[in-house]
Structure 1
Amino acid sequence: MFSQALRFVTILLEVIILFNLLIVVHEIGHFLAARWRGLFIEGFGVWFGKPVWKKTVNGVQYSLGSIPFGGFVKLPQLAPMDVIEGKADLDRATLPPISALDKIIVAIAGPIFSLLLALFFAAIVWVVGHPVAESDMTTTIGYVERDGPAAKGGLLPGDKILEVDGRPVSRFFGMNKSVTWAIVRSEEETIPFKIERAAQVLTLNVTPIKSETRGWQRKSTRQVMMYPAETAIIEKVQPDTPAAAAQLRHGDVLTGFNGRPIWSPVALVDFISTHGNETVTLQVSRGGQSINVPVQPRILPNEKTPRIGISWDSSGKM
């Protein structure tokens, strides 16, 4: 509960910081354009509300407000703020008029600076990169639902998908050369899957399905009921559970169970849900060593199906 609250607060702070940064950069654009075009600048402020700090430099009052949202630049020749802040001491009638071109330049400078900020962050992501889950980028099948279209078509966990419906694929999710998008775009009754299995290239035909939806729901898309491969890494072991009793740890990598390889954590979850009264032997990689860990699932408090009490690291290896 505490971790969820902390995560919520962290996300909220991130949103506030990014929102303020966007607004301040936007207002800086107006400010610099106004300086360039010779407009009278009454003030520039970060945040609203009663100022907690202010200082006048070269006729411009800079301030920091008490309400941590947004910012503003006072340009009486462009947009008087009497309605918001009350009557100002400045007699705006004494200010020289400005041209339409000046108004246009100052007005569009804010959006231009916002765009430049977005391009700046995009360049950082392009150079540094961004976190990508292993399951997003693989084309290897991790789990096939029992009696689903993929299972009926002969697809198996560990199969590497090369093409879907004649289209080469390089990732599982997304809209560019992805397995899911090729399935959605397919139109024929069956979808040919070109796969690599045990150094052999095979083509298997799968008949997709569409889940039934009600009139007010969004129409479903074609599905074959399979999931991408994902390294089974333990993120957390819940206390007072079979996993804790078996001394499983954060960071343990499950390479298999009951002597067979595991391509996705979903496979273990599914096995336990249907074999909850059986002891399952996990093959665990820890510190460069491989160990066998027997675990007896059980129904945990407030649960309806057997579990062993672990949560998975969804980021995988990447």
Structure 2
Amino acid sequence: MVILTTIYVAVAVLLLFASAIFIHEWGHFFVARLCGMKVEEFAIGFGKILWKREKDGVLYTIRMIPAGGFVKLPQMITSETIEGKNEDETEPLPEITPWAKIAVAVAGPIMNVIFAFVLATIIYFVGLPEAITPPVVGSMDETSEEYKLGVREGDIIVKINGKEIPSWEEARKLTALSITNRFLVTFQRQTDSGIKEFTEELTAKPVSEELTIKILQLPPKYRPIAGKILDGGAAGAAGLKANDEIISLGGLPLGSRGQLISALQKNGTNKTEIAVLRDGDEVSLAITPKMVNNTVMIGVQFASMPQTYIVRHPGPGPIENVKGVASLMGDTLYALFHKAETGVGVKDLSGPVGILAMLGAWVKTDYRLALNFLVLLNVNLAILNMLPIPVLDGGHTVMGLFEGIFRRKIPAKLLEVITIIFTVLLLSLMAYVTFHDVFERSGLFFEMFNNDVEIQGPSSPSE
């Protein structure tokens, strides 16, 4: 069953990812043909050719690295820097107008936006699961600033800076992308006399020295769940298994991952009892934590927080959906360009490897969530490709506007140097984010097959 699931996820991910690339390149291809331009190659992927077919003078190829694609157009600046210069230069080709170049350049991003609307329309009719796991605060450190301000375990976050917060995901997204680290957080608390609502100004801090994205210092209320048991660790020696729900350590009941980590540091490397819930039964185990880099560790990679989704039917309207995705993309770029305030840097971006892993997680969870992620991916492709950077569609558009307005071309030698420089920079950026995806975010691939998600529904707006 695991093998079949893996095959299904892998095939679905590649098809969905390839569809976004295909529709983008098809936009360039279609408009280039309309403008009477010569098309030498239509390629999905980069690198070594895995499959090829020639028809009507066009070479159609599928290449080894599924990180993008290209349409080779001799009458425009092409990806010759990457794929090699065309050796057949005997055929004279007519000049094309700057406006034709612009039309071809913007056609790819426009097709991505159109495809995003098509997907969003499908989602509207089939419904969309939305997170309803409430952001309930877990066990608090009594020495923390938040505890001293009056925040307690069981409090529910309902608003941050006046915006309604339905889930931890939304809370983290808002704080991470904001240029401030101070937030007005509104809580609800169940008391004997009813529900009490109060607001406190809290400080968000970086996750760690390495991970500088800032989060509120409020632990989620859920028992830590063992995901992957690491080889040679104390957990494996004690008999812990994947999906064990850790309920106590040394007799201390646990309500959050943070509470477990704190209890481990206090316990040190002393042998102690750890109680877990396994298949509905409570199991007690003896564990001896180890000291690793001055930190007490038990050798467990925790599973993600269990999430509950309810199907919104009909789903969000296509305009609402695409507009929300574009707004999120804009907020992300804004946060990236204000790294000093937000802590969001290039290392926090995901390349093709990370995108494939996230898409795989959604495919396994629910096809509607995968389609919604594809809406995000297509809008991102459109926006990023329209950045005014040479070798991107936005760069071609700027150069076309320059030619059309000033009626002169950018010197070929200068253009060649600029193209090479930005090609090297983009390839370096891709290599950097891919390195982080593979070596720094190995948990992404673990989460593909270990995300604990419950889908409920459907529901309607009247419910």
Q: Same fold (TM over 0.5)?
A: yes
1:151 to 147, 150, 153: 147
Residue in structure 1 matched with residue 284 of structure 2 by the alignment: 293
Cα distance per residue 1:157-216 (max 9 Å; x no partner): 233344567765422343699799899443xxxx6643225784335665645779xxxx
**Cα separation, partners in 2 of 1:178 and 1:101, compared to 1, 3 Å:** closer
User: Which amino acid is the alignment partner of residue 74 of structure 1?
Assistant: L
Asked if structure 2 preserves the Cα contact closer than 8 Å seen for 1:164 and 1:183, the reply is no
Higher normalized contact order (CA 8 Å, seq sep 6+, divided by chain length): 2
Q: Which residue in 1 is equivalent to 2:135? A: 139
Corresponding residue pairs, total = 282
CA contact (8 A) 2:275 2:284 kept: yes
What's 1:215 paired with? none
Secondary structure of 1:248's match?
coil
CA distance, structure 1, for counterparts of residue 234 and residue 102 of structure 2: 68
Which residue of structure 2 aligns with residue 194 of structure 1?
A: 188
Check whether the contact 1:277–1:296 (CA below 8 A) recurs between aligned residues: no
Return the alpha-carbon distance in structure 2 between the equivalents of residues 209 and 89 of structure 1: 66
The two structures have a TM-score, normalised by structure 1, of: 0.64
Which residue in 1 is equivalent to 2:275?
283
> Structure 1, residues 132-167: CA drift from partner, whole Å, max 9, x if none?
7x9xx4321123233112221333323334456776
Preserved CA contact (<8 Å) 2:274 2:284: yes
- AA paired with 1:230? Y
> Given the alignment of the two structures, is residue 74 of structure 1 paired with residue 73 of structure 2, yes or no?
yes
- The match for 1:28 among 26, 29, 45 is 26
- Does residue 89 (structure 1) correspond to residue 83 (structure 2)? The answer is no
In structure 1, what is the equivalent of residue 429 of structure 2? none
Structure 1 Cα separation of the partners of residues 174 and 228 of structure 2 = 31
Q: Deviations over 1:82-103 (max 9, x none)?
A: 994255332335xxx8778766
| Mapped partners of 1:48, 1:177: distance in 2 | 33
CA distance in 2, matches of 1:198, 1:156: 15
CA separation in 2, counterparts of 1:286 and 1:43?
60
Match of 2:264 in 1: 272
1:41 and 2:38 equivalent? Answer: yes
Q: Judging changes above 3 Å, is the alpha-carbon distance between structure 1 residues 260 and 81 closer, same or farther for their aligned structure 2 residues?
A: closer
Displacement of 1:26 in angstroms is 2.9
Conserved 8 A contact 1:54-1:62: yes
Q: Give the fraction of aligned pairs with identical amino acids, expressed as a percent.
A: 20
User: Who is 1:111 aligned against?
Assistant: 109
Aligned mates of 2:115, 2:254 — CA distance in 1: 44
Q: Please, what TM-score do these two structures have when normalized by structure 2? A: 0.47
* Residue equivalent to 2:10: none
Q: Any stretches of 5+ residues in structure 1 without a counterpart?
A: 1-13, 213-218
Contact 1:246 1:293 in 2 (8 A): no
SS in 2 for 1:232: coil
Q: Secondary structure at the match of 1:194?
A: strand
**2:309 aligned with 1:311:** no
Paired with 2:96 and 2:167, the residues of 1 have a C-alpha distance of 55
Query: Which of the pair is proportionally richer in helix?
Result: 2
CA separation of 1:307/1:199 partners in 2, compared to 1, >3 Å: closer, same or farther? farther
**Alignment check: 8 A CA contact 1:164 1:193 kept:** no
Letter in 1 for 2:296: P
The answer to whether the 8 Å contact 2:39/2:74 transfers is yes
Q: Distance in 2 between matches of 1:100 and 1:32?
A: 17
Matched letter for residue 288 of structure 2:
P
Q: d(CA) in 2 for partners of 1:90 and 1:138?
A: 65
1:147 aligned counterpart, secondary structure:
coil
**Which amino acid letter does the alignment assign opposite residue 71 of structure 1?**
F
Letter in 2 for 1:33: V
Query: Which residue does 2:170 correspond to in 1?
Result: 174
User: Does structure 2 retain, via aligned residues, the 8 Å contact 1:43–1:61?
Assistant: yes
Q: Work out the CA distance in 2 between the residues paired with 1:145 and 1:293.
A: 26
For residues 65 and 165 of structure 1, the distance between their equivalents in structure 2, rounded to whole angstroms, comes to 48
Q: Structure 1: which amino acid aligns with 2:156?
A: K
Kept in 1: contact 2:276–2:283 (CA 8 A): yes
Bigger Rg, structure 1 or 2: 1
The equivalent of 1:263 in structure 2 is: 255
Q: Would the aligned equivalents of 2:268 and 2:296 in 1 still touch at CA under 8 Å? A: yes
Deviation larger for 138-147 or 79-88: 79-88
- 2:284 corresponds to which letter in structure 1? V
User: Partners of 1:50 and 1:310 in 2: how far apart?
Assistant: 39
Gap regions ≥5 residues in structure 2: 1-12, 207-211, 307-451, 454-463
Displacement of 1:271 in angstroms is 1.0
**AA aligned opposite 2:41:** F
Equivalent residue, structure 2, for 1:11: none
Give 2:238's aligned amino acid.
A
Which whole-Å CA distance do the structure 1 matches of 2:224 and 2:277 have between them? 10
